């Protein structure tokens, strides 16, 4: 029997067992007498052993058998030692490495040394040596960002790739040369090289290029234990499959009813059939979404192990809390949340908490959005210090710093190049990876909020849509064209009288709920002609860059649930477009990302 077709299912289930083992080990470490936890660990090891043996993966089966025997001793004692926890975690890491071998269709590495009691560190050194290895070489991750003013970014990136290849062996590059040659305005490059040079030497090579605005060089981050590819396989409950079969039967019946009504020109029957079809499709849409939805625990479940390892490495005492892990999100969103969460956790440990403290990851539902928050009770950030630091780095002018709100000052940490590594304070280090976090959240159609008080902690709150495939939008008119705004970005719609508009400097504002809101014309953002203002003005109240604004449109055309389609290259490079959709009448409508458009205008000084 060909077992290869079952490999993907085996890898997914094995990694789920590993994730549970990691979480259990971290939990038991805090309570060594947790007998039920030790029993659960034993069952997980037993499951891994049995699955591997049935698939013929002998090394994994042997290691599972070893861990099972190792745990049996502590089951009988009813408690476990810290040394045993370390040993078991090393075993979990080794199983993950074995799964990577299987996934890459390599022979499984040997586990004989580990099972015979060699130190845990030897477990990660079981890979076959490469022929003629070069002494003292290391792998480095290189990230380059070009200035916005570079006229031919694609050509410049090709030159930089050639330069990278001269420093060592270029292992991978994103985007690749082929992708760059296809066209498009790409200004960022991520690559991994194998080289004898130190990270600082590699960094110095690219700091001499005037076209490069930012360069980061570091050791590649180790992948967290567990399956990082959430969507490799999706298991569907039989109850849900039964619903699909039932819906399919009803749709087939409804099709025959419509065909019969159309043939007999029974317009009443045709209308009833169409109404029934609309209900069935809506039900089908709901059931399909349930297949895509997964609990946040599939991503947050690996965080306790990450926090435990980082706390040990930094010598800090950290309590980690997880709340709301049963909240569900579209798996496509969850796949993109792993790196942002790791960035925020690392920053909280490295730069938020001094010696001891608490990190809390909490999720909750708010209307049609999911809120995901990473909070620490550490040193916090001082907006005044952030302003001074940004001025020193040349990221903003002194005049901009003077009028900048505290909220906007906190957002400065998301600017590429803001962080410094030479001085670890509440103003530096926090920016490590935060530009990546912000970009990832906004790519998903979400919003990142940062709240911090000096000496009283920091909170990063991600506002995320439930799904990126099918969303609700508000259709608005602008210059006789129809465009869409995600409902998650809309707080309220209203019509205001022309005489309600006031002027503050060059900015038009209006009073709403005892608050003055700036009015921004969608026509102006899109570079369209501005007509003479009518007596009644249509306004969409939205929250952009942490501030409520009134977005002026020509009119409203209602709400719709639409299927979001990604835009083809090179249109996908245009900032401010969140995708497109096709309406029932065949019209193509672009979904706008107003925040992205306003940020682009603000950077360009428009």
**Residues in CB range of 291: below 8 A, 6 or more apart:** 234, 236, 240
What pLDDT shows up at residue 376? 93
What is the average pLDDT score of the chain? Answer: 81
Give the CB-side neighbour count of residue 314, counting CA atoms within 13 A. 21
306 and 366: one domain? yes
Confidence grade of residue 211 (pLDDT, cut at 50, 70, 90): confident
CATH number for the domain that contains residue 195: 3.30.70.1110
Position 500 in a domain: yes
In the listed set 252, 278, 295, which residue is the last one of a domain according to the structure?
295
Q: Which of 419, 348, 427 is nearest to 387 (CA)?
A: 427
Q: 188 and 203 share a domain?
A: yes
Do 168 and 267 sit in the same domain of this protein? Answer: no
For residue 387, give both structure tokens: 């302003």
Shared-domain flag, residues 289 and 331? no
The answer to whether 463 and 368 have CB atoms below 8 angstroms apart is no
Q: If you compute the radius of gyration of the chain from its CA atoms, what whole number of angstroms results?
A: 28
If asked whether residues 69 and 190 sit together in one domain, one would say no
What CATH number did the domain enclosing 8 receive?
1.20.120.160
Its domain, for residue 167, covers 138-218
148-152, 469-473, 509-513, 588-592: which has the minimum mean pLDDT?
A: 148-152
- Within a domain: 192: yes
226 within some domain: no
Residues ≥6 apart with Cβ < 8 Å to 21: 41, 44, 45, 88, 92
pLDDT at 434: 80
Residue bearing the bigger pLDDT, 417 or 329 = 329
Are 325 and 387 contained in the same domain? yes
CA 208 to chain centre: 32
pLDDT in tens, 258-289: 888 888 888 888 898 888 888 888 888 778 77
Residue 178's φ and ψ, nearest 5 degrees, are -60, -40
Q: Which of 91, 125, 159 is the last residue of a domain?
A: 125
In order, the DSSP letters of 138-165 are EEEEEEEEE-TT-S-HHHHHHHHHHHHH
Per-residue pLDDT of 87-113, as tens digits, reads 999 999 999 999 988 888 888 988 888
Q: What is the CATH number of the domain that holds 558?
A: 2.40.50.180
pLDDT reading at 427 higher than 50: no
Element (H, E) at 473: strand 470-478
- Count other Cβ atoms within 10 Å, centred on residue 161: 18
In a domain, 224, yes or no: no
Let me know whether 492 and 577 are in one domain. yes
Q: 124: pLDDT confidence band, cut at 50, 70 and 90?
A: very low
Q: What is the pLDDT of residue 420?
A: 42
Same domain, 460 and 486: no
Are 327 and 458 spatial neighbours (Cβ–Cβ below 8 Å)? no
- pLDDT of 426 higher than 60: no
Place of tokens 């000052």: 409
278 and 342 belong to one structural domain? no
Identify the pLDDT of residue 495.
92
Sorting pLDDT into bands at 50, 70 and 90, what band is 476?
very high
Q: How many CB atoms lie within 10 A of CB 322?
A: 18
Total domain count, the chain: 5
Which comes out higher in pLDDT, residue 366 or 210?
Answer: 366
Residue 352 and residue 499 in one domain: no
pLDDT attached to residue 570:
77
User: Cβ distance 557 to 461 under 8 Å?
Assistant: no
Q: How many CA atoms lie within 13 A of 518 on its CB side?
A: 14
pLDDT tens per residue across span 517-556: 899 999 988 888 888 778 889 999 988 766 789 999 999 9
Cα–Cα distance for residue pair 72/250, rounded to 1 Å: 53
Express each pLDDT in 382-397 by its tens digit.
999 888 888 888 888 8
Residue 364 lies in a domain: yes
Q: Looking at 151, 184, 218, which one is the last position of a domain?
A: 218
Q: What is the pLDDT of residues 212-235, one digit of tens each?
A: 888 888 876 544 444 444 444 566
307 occurs within a structural domain: yes
Tokens found for residue 238: 């039989």
Pure H helices in 423-467: 434-443
**Quick one: 247 and 111 in the same domain?**
no
User: In terms of DSSP H, where are the helices of 293-353?
Assistant: 297-300, 303-314, 331-347
Percent of the chain with pLDDT over 90: 15
142: number of Cβ within 10 Å: 24
Answer whether residue 133 is part of any domain.
no
CATH number of the domain bearing residue 444? 3.30.565.10
Q: Are 32 and 80 in contact (CB under 8 A)?
A: yes
Residues 451 and 475 in one domain: no
Q: Which of 236, 250, 337, 367 is nearest to 293 (CA)?
A: 236
d(CA 76, CA 65): 17
In a domain, residue 131? The reply is no
How far, CA to CA in Å, does 186 sit from each of 176, 261, 339, 600?
A: 11, 55, 21, 16
Query: Which of the 8 DSSP states describes residue 320?
Result: E
């Amino acid at each position: 029997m060909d077992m290869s077709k079952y490999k993907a299912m085996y890898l997914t289930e094995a990694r789920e067992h590993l994730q549970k083992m990691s979480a259990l080990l971290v939990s038991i470490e805090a309570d060594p007498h947790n007998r039920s936890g030790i029993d659960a660990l034993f069952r997980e090891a037993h499951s891994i052993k049995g699955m591997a043996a049935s698939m013929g993966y002998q090394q994994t089966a042997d290691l599972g058998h070893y861990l099972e025997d190792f745990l049996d001793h502590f089951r009988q004692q009813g408690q476990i030692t810290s040394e045993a926890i370390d040993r078991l975690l090393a075993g979990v890491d080794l199983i993950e490495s074995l799964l990577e071998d299987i996934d890459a269709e390599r022979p499984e590495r040997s586990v004989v040394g580990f099972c015979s009691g060699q130190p845990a560190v030897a477990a990660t050194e079981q890979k076959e040596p490469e022929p003629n290895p070069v002494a003292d070489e290391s792998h480095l991750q290189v990230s380059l960002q070009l200035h916005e003013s570079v006229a031919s970014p694609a050509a410049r990136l090709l030159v930089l790739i050639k330069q990278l290849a001269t420093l060592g062996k270029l292992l991978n590059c994103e985007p690749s040369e082929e992708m760059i040659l296809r066209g498009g305005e790409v200004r960022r490059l991520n690559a991994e090289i194998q080289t004898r040079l130190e990270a600082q030497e590699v960094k110095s090579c690219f700091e001499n290029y005037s076209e490069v605005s930012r360069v980061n060089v570091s050791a590649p981050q180790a992948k967290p234990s567990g399956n990082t590819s959430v969507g490799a396989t999706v298991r569907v409950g039989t109850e849900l499959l039964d619903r699909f079969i039932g819906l399919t039967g009803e749709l087939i019946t409804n099709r025959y009813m419509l065909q019969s009504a159309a043939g007999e020109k029974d317009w009443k029957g045709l209308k009833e059939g169409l109404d029934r079809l609309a209900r069935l499709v809506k039900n089908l849409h709901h059931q399909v979404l349930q297949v895509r939805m997964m609990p946040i625990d599939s991503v947050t479940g690996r965080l306790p192990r990450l926090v435990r390892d980082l706390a040990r490495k930094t010598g800090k005492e950290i309590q980690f809390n997880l709340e709301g892990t049963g909240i569900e999100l579209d798996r496509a969103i969850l796949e993109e949340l792993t790196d942002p969460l790791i960035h925020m956790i690392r920053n909280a440990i490295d730069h938020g908490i001094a010696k001891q403290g608490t990190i809390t990851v909490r999720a909750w539902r708010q209307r049609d959005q999911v809120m995901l928050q990473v909070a620490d009770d550490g040193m916090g950030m001082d907006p005044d210090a952030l302003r001074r630091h940004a001025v020193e780095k040349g990221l903003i002018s002194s005049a901009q710093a003077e009028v900048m709100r505290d909220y906007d000052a906190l957002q400065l940490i998301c600017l590429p190049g803001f962080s410094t590594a030479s001085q670890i304070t509440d103003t530096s280090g926090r920016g490590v990876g935060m530009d990546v976090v912000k970009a990832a959240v906004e790519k998903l159609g979400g919003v990142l909020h940062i709240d911090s008080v000096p000496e009283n902690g920091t909170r990063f709150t991600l506002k995320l849509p439930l799904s990126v495939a099918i969303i609700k939008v508000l259709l608005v008119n602008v210059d006789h064209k129809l465009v869409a705004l995600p409902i998650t970005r809309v707080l309220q719609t209203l019509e205001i009288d022309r005489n309600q508009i006031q002027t503050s400097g060059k900015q038009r504002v209006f009073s709403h709920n005892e608050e003055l809101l700036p009015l921004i014309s969608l026509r102006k953002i899109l570079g369209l002609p501005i007509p003479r203002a009518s007596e009644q003005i249509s306004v969409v109240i939205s929250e952009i860059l942490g501030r409520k604004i009134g977005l002026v449109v020509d009119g409203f055309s209602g709400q719709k649930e639409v299927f979001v389609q990604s835009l083809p290259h090179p249109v996908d490079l245009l900032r401010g477009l969140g995708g497109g959709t096709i309406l029932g009448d065949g019209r193509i409508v672009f979904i706008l990302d107003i925040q992205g458009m306003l940020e682009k205008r603000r950077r360009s000084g428009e």
